Amino acid sequence: MAPRRSQLTLRDVSEAAGVSEMTVSRVLRDRGDVSDATREKVQAAARALGYVPNKIAGALASQRVNLVGVIVPSLSNLVFPEMLAGLEEVLDGTPLQPVVGSTEYDLDKEERTLFEMLSWRPSGIVIAGLEHTEASRAMMAGSGVPVVEVMDVDGVPVDAAVGISHRRAGYEMAGEIVARGYKRVGIVGTKVDGDHRARKRIEGLEEGLRGTNVVIVDRADYAGWSGFAKGREMTAAMLERTPDLDFLYYTNDLTGAGGLLYCLEKGIEVGRDLGLAGFNGFSLLDGLPRKLATVDSCRREAGRIAGRIVAGTWTWTDEEDRRVELTPAFLPGHTMRSSV
């Protein structure tokens, strides 16, 4: 085993570049007047040595580091990596760097993660959802940095919120179900005690069906990862339990895709005899034998706008209501009838 090297210092870089430590500090902190030739020489020496600046020491004066804490419930759910991609797309041209933590839909774990991130004095926080513990809300309110709650606008944000109204998305799906002549609906979704956005979609669906001749006759929920296998399993169980259903609403496209594959395998006339719809608008499902009806959740755009808010380049039209509500598009696919 090679002997462990001591930590590189500004002196190592200054000796390699043949300039003073003060000059190295100015170059690496992008401060002060330094010639292009000297700047290039210092940067080349730092790269060759593998020197990484001590951002904690550099942050002592400003009390901030160029990190943005990003807290999401899951990295296996494709919704959140796509939001993160939009965020990174904007921050890529700035000094800000996202650092990600996952909470597994556990608000107590979210609180602990938030505490650790804020202890590093980041330049901003991007966090999924509007439901948090009281301690988490207090920490964010007192952080003194931009806080952006993403993926939802159904509530009052600590500072700013960007996303869609999940209640409205559920309500508008109800209108599509009614318009296409379906009567008996089953709901397949994640356990709503942790996934508040799924809960709001179901509440919106229920509200939209209230007073119509369409009834919700069965529902089932699950914990854990949404996937094709889970969708197949739950669709099979629901159709065996309630065979006279004519529509299945899935709170996630991945379980909806599993349900679609199961129905096609069983020879069910999808769309005509049994309508299916999911939520999120995942493009990776475009290769299925039938395109699943769904709703685009605008997750990448939410990430882009969150990045602009954190970076200070977003202009508010109403400082009293710092919410940016995005408009999700209904994508009918080929698993629902035409409107009647």
Q: Is residue 152 located within the same domain as residue 182? A: no
Q: Is the pLDDT of residue 103 over 50?
A: yes
On whether residue 331 sits in a domain, the answer given is: no
pLDDT of residue 330: 93
Per the prediction, the chain carries an average pLDDT of 89
44 Cβ partners below 8 Å, 6+ apart? 17
Between CA 9 and CA 56 the distance in angstroms is 14
Q: Tell the burial category of 94 from Cβ atoms under 10 Å away from its Cβ (0-12, 13-18, 19+).
A: middle
Please give the pLDDT value at position 109. Answer: 95
Output the pLDDT for position 193. Answer: 62
Alpha-carbon dihedral angle through residues 85, 90, 93, 98, given to the nearest 10 degrees:
-60
Residue 327 CA, chain-centre distance (Å), reads 16
Q: How far apart are CA 125 and CA 148, in angstroms?
A: 6
For residue 184, pLDDT over 50 is answered with yes
DSSP label of 293 = B
Domain count, the chain: 3
Examine the domain organization and report whether 215 and 121 are in the same domain. no
Look at residue 4 and tell me if it is in a domain.
no
Q: Where are the beta strands (DSSP E) in 9-74?
A: 67-72
Question: So what's the pLDDT on residue 62?
Answer: 57
- Report angle CA 308, 313, 318 to the nearest 5 degrees: 90
- Return d(Cα 200, Cα 140) in angstroms, integer: 23
pLDDT at residue 255 in the model? 92
Cα gap 186→242, rounded to integer Å: 9
For residue 261, is it within any domain?
yes
Same domain, 309 and 274: no
Q: Is 314 domain-assigned?
A: yes
Whether 141 and 232 share a structural domain = no
Residue 269 pLDDT more than 60? Answer: yes
Q: Is residue 337 part of a domain?
A: no
d(CA 323, CA 159): 9
| CATH number of the domain that residue 39 is part of | 1.10.260.40
CATH number at residue 114: 3.40.50.2300
CA dihedral 331, 333, 337, 340 (to 10 degrees): 30
Residues 267 and 309 in one domain: no
The pLDDT of residue 285 is 79
| 116: enclosing H helix or E strand | helix 107-119
Average pLDDT, integer, range 110-133? 92
22 lies in the same domain as 81: no
**Are residues 281 and 198 both part of a single domain?**
yes
In a domain, 201, yes or no: yes
Average pLDDT, integer, range 279-295 = 88
Q: Which residue would you say has higher pLDDT here, 190 or 339?
A: 339
- Which residues, 6+ apart, have CB-to-CB distance to 267 below 8 Å? none
Same domain assignment for residues 131 and 218: no
Whether residue 214 sits in one domain with residue 318? no
Same domain, 119 and 67: yes
Q: What is the mean pLDDT of residues 141-145?
A: 88
Residue 68 has pLDDT above 50, yes or no: yes
Give me the mean pLDDT over the 177-204 stretch: 88
* Average pLDDT of span 234-257: 95
DSSP string covering 154-174, please?
SS--SSEEEE--HHHHHHHHH
What pLDDT score was predicted for residue 2? 38
Claim to verify: residue 174 and residue 140 sit in the same structural domain:
no
Per-residue pLDDT for 1 more than 50?
no
Residue 14 belongs to what domain range?
10-53
pLDDT at site 215: 96
The DSSP line for 222-286 is E-S---HHHHHHHHHHHHHH-TT--EEEESSHHHHHHHHHHHHHTT--BTTTBEEE-SB--GGGG
Task: Evaluate whether residue 190 is within a structural domain.
Answer: yes
pLDDT at res. 31: 73
Cα 285 to Cα 256: distance, rounded to the nearest angstrom = 10
Q: How far apart are CA 313 and CA 224, in angstroms?
A: 37
**Residue 192 pLDDT > 60, yes or no?**
no
Residue 3 clears pLDDT 50, i.e. is over it: no
128 lies in a domain? Answer: yes
**143 and 206 fall within a common domain:** no
How far, in Å, CA of 221 to CA of 207, rounded? 19
